[in-house]
Structure 1
Amino acid sequence: MQSKIRIRLLERRKGMLDLILKVLKDNNINEYIINENKEEIFELYMIKKAVDMNRKKNITIYTVTVLRDNGNEFKGSSVVKIYPSMDEDEISTVLKDAYYAASFVKNKSYNLPVGYNGEKVYDKSSLANMELEEIAYKAKDALYKYDDFEHGCINSSEIFASRVNTRIITSNNVDAAYEKYKISGEFVTQWVENSDVEIFNMFSYDDLKEEELSLMGKEAIINAGYRDRSKDAPETGEYDVILCGSSVHEFFGYYLANSRTDMIYQKYSNFRLGENVQGTDIKGDKVNITLKSSVPFSNEGIVLKDTKLIEDGVLKAIHGPYNFAQYLGIEPIGSFDGAVIQGGSTSEKDMFSDGTLKIIRFSDFQMDEVTGDCFGEIRLSLLKKGDKIIPLTGGSVTININDVKENMTFSKETQDDRGVIIPKCIKFKNVNIAGK
């Protein structure tokens, strides 16, 4: 009985796009965007170095955006999820409700973009040449490569290898399809010596960067050891401060956000094409950002091409939602999920000079994209005093990007943080630390 149900579901899944298109036509819904996502996942769960469990999952979801003209000046939209288990009547009910809901949305009128209509694009990374199970086990071996400390280890990990096949169909003649691989995961490092300390870590790659992942695992264990030995907060005062890892990603999020079409149109951002968004008296490293995407098309089917966003502090492009691009009177280039932020010429080692406070981990680091304020409570920092490195915990930092943007130092070492290539570290001078 279960096998018959599964066969019927597979048969229905094959024709779901045609069924959704039929229901849209039957209900006179003439403007739409359909995103079909078929994801295969291999999951690997580890307890220390031993495999605890593995499993496979297949998930198919259809995301449908229906659009509705509300007079000549306004257009509304509504987004719904459709699943392969739904029949025609259920799909019709969901889409009619969405179309009705769109009548209450009063956005300024816009047109769907003209996008791609052609052959499917396949992933060209090394992951595309491997089975998902092989990818996951290779990532596991890389992660645990340097796990040989006396008091520290990777306590547990979860590794996810996925292959996603996406197809985008719109009422404006878009038919774009692509295949995408990804390896991601979470792991907890532990150090048991003076106390018992655990630190949560994450990784995500579009290609298998084995040595980078190995070094991330090693560094995370070492940081757990520093955290175990840290007892005091830094003294309140001014320091030269280094941010590391994901906090660097959050910091540069200010530039990525303020160069978006929606932020500029709604006047949350004062960025303008051709203007210097880093300042006019730059003494440190200049900001250079290139937009990159892990997928070939936006959700609307716009072809995503590598684009220079900021060059030597000057804004060269505006990205983001296509409707706001139309409002601004510019050609939409799409929304990007990644970027490359150019590093500087100073090594991480040389940046960590005497008297510098290097913040390794925050409890929570946030960037206010409108005001430029970034702040966080310090979970682990290292203070350089002569030949000594003193681990500290506690205290907090608040920085406004407008106070530091003209005199920043970027490490020449870079790392991949959730699809964004960032300098591994960024250094600021004379930052106030609230400590003991």
Structure 2
Amino acid sequence: MMKERIVQALARAEKRGGVKAAQWRLVSGHSSRQERYYVKNDLELAREVEEVRHSLTVYVDGNEGDKKTRGEASITLQPSLSDEKIDSKIAQALFAASMSKNPWFDLPGPAEARVLLPPSGFEAMDETSRAETCRRALFAPEKKPQDPPLARINALELFISKNSKQFINSKGARFDTEEWKGYSEFIVEAEGDSGGVELFDDIAFSEPAAARLEEATGARLAQVRDRAKASPTPALKDLPVILRGREAEDIFAWFFDNASTEAIFTKASSFFLGMNVQQTDPAIDILDPLDIWAEPIIPGLPNSCPYDGEGFPLERTQVVDKGVLKCLTGGIRYADWLGQPRKGSFPLFSVSAGKVSLEQLRAKPCLELVKFSDFSLEQTTGDFGGEIRLAYWFDGKKRIPLTGGSISGSVAELRSTMVRSRERALASRSLCPEAVLLKGVSITGAL
């Protein structure tokens, strides 16, 4: 087997002269993927894909003055490679690692998992049922009665993968995982008085959850109908803004990512333990204190895993408690360099529910943004902005669909007055409130 061939190649490298590996890590992955491509509701292409990949990381120790250092380099090895080619690639990686002089850190050793991956509903289904169940759910909203203008799915791509991973390192750490991952991206369209309009979206999932898949396409079909009859965004001043879905998640992720060991060690984050990460002025009370947890597993979301990429066992950990930073998570090397306990690098996070419902947030004049052409949030500064594809302006009497214009603001400046919704939902990497209300966001009209 390829894994044994790589381990044997490492042993040969140890016997040869020259640069030697102090430690190593090998991750072997196998992916079996169904791919389906639809135009309208017609299947245009179906294919099955098998991928095998072996990723090897070697660590080389050295000294810089009286301090011990460690360098690393990673390579990808394919089963088709000859033993001579594997030896050559490992030698190149060892040389590259020897040129790096980072502070020393140790790899994790053997450890039992602290959490277990729940079984996926995909496991009990046959190959045909997996794709067909998801297809039916995604296209189901098209068949429901619609108010004009008529909306439909123009194109849809569907991928369902079973990913197996085997992890070993030179310290004896070893574990195997299996994960199901579904992903779909789609374009919905509707015809308006000024011509056709489109919206794009995607969804990642680990379960054949029909209700969640139907909601994803159903919401966008309703929204593209509104975009077809939307008015240009006027100049709006001093109006609270509501961000929904993925953009709301981006706001919460700013806090989670800035609480990482890597961000703090590299000075990319100004956070520190004991800091109230929502406070901008001691004289201003926090309207809606945050609770944030690092999560190894969230049912329904892919990328759940009981171990991080370096083989450290994960368990649910509270990071922020009522706005105060209580714990740092992230790469174990950065934890060592900061003198903090190792917690590991988490793929997912969750945010506690707010006290106010989405309907209550909408009850006063506001601009609710549901789709952008492009939304970006700069992780270091917290600056964000995006061009509006669809928003709803509540002027105190009626809810008006708008398109065009843009917004801009900074989480760092607006964080103390943000208010999150009581309702929570799965997003791309979290379970978090569906919406967050921000005051002080700049709105630029389309006119």
Give me the TM-score of the superposition, normalised by structure 1. Answer: 0.92
- Please give the per-residue CA displacement for 1:175-209, whole angstroms capped at 9, x wherever unaligned: 11111111111111111232211111110012233
CA distance in 1, matches of 2:408, 2:427: 22
Which residue of 2 is the match for residue 26 of structure 1? 12
- 302-311 vs 114-123, which moves further: 114-123
1:265 aligned to 2:269? no
Which residue of 2 is the match for residue 41 of structure 1? 33
1:288 aligned to 2:301? no
CA distance in 2, matches of 1:116, 1:127: 29
Identity %: 26
Change (3 A) 1:209 1:345: farther
Which residue of 1 is the match for residue 137 of structure 2? 142
1:52 aligned to 2:44? yes
CA distance in 2, matches of 1:81, 1:192: 48
Shift of 1:119: 12
Shift of 1:165: 0.7
C-alpha root-mean-square deviation of aligned residues, in Å? 2.0
1:211 aligned to 2:211? yes
Which residue of 2 is the match for residue 196 of structure 1? 196
CA distance in 2, matches of 1:384, 1:95: 61
- 128-137 vs 362-371, which moves further: 128-137
CA distance in 2, matches of 1:119, 1:189: 42
Which letter maps to 1:16? Answer: M
- 346-355 vs 363-372, which moves further: 346-355
- Please give the per-residue CA displacement for 1:4-42, whole angstroms capped at 9, x wherever unaligned: xxxxxxxxxxx1110000101111234111111111111
Change (3 A) 1:285 1:98: same
Shift of 1:145: 1.9
Change (3 A) 1:37 1:299: same
CA distance in 2, matches of 1:234, 1:379: 14
Matched position secondary structure for 1:295: coil
Shift of 1:403: 2.3
Tell me if structure 1 keeps the 8 A contact 2:243–2:368: yes
Which letter maps to 1:158? Answer: E
Give me the TM-score of the superposition, normalised by structure 2. Answer: 0.90
Which residue of 2 is the match for residue 11 of structure 1? none
Which letter maps to 2:79? Answer: P
Paired positions, count = 422
Pairing partner for 2:382 from 361, 367, 372: 372
Pairing partner for 2:432 from 406, 422, 428: 422
- Unaligned residue ranges in structure 2 (runs of 5+): 15-20, 297-303
Shift of 1:386: 3.7
- 386-395 vs 296-305, which moves further: 386-395
Matched position secondary structure for 1:73: strand
Which residue of 1 is the match for residue 301 of structure 2? none
Change (3 A) 1:133 1:327: farther
Which letter maps to 1:224? Answer: V
Shift of 1:325: 0.9
Shift of 1:236: 4.3
Change (3 A) 1:332 1:283: closer
- 238-247 vs 222-231, which moves further: 222-231
Which residue of 2 is the match for residue 101 of structure 1? 96
CA distance in 2, matches of 1:95, 1:67: 11
Tell me if structure 2 keeps the 8 A contact 1:204–1:419: no
CA distance in 2, matches of 1:298, 1:141: 35
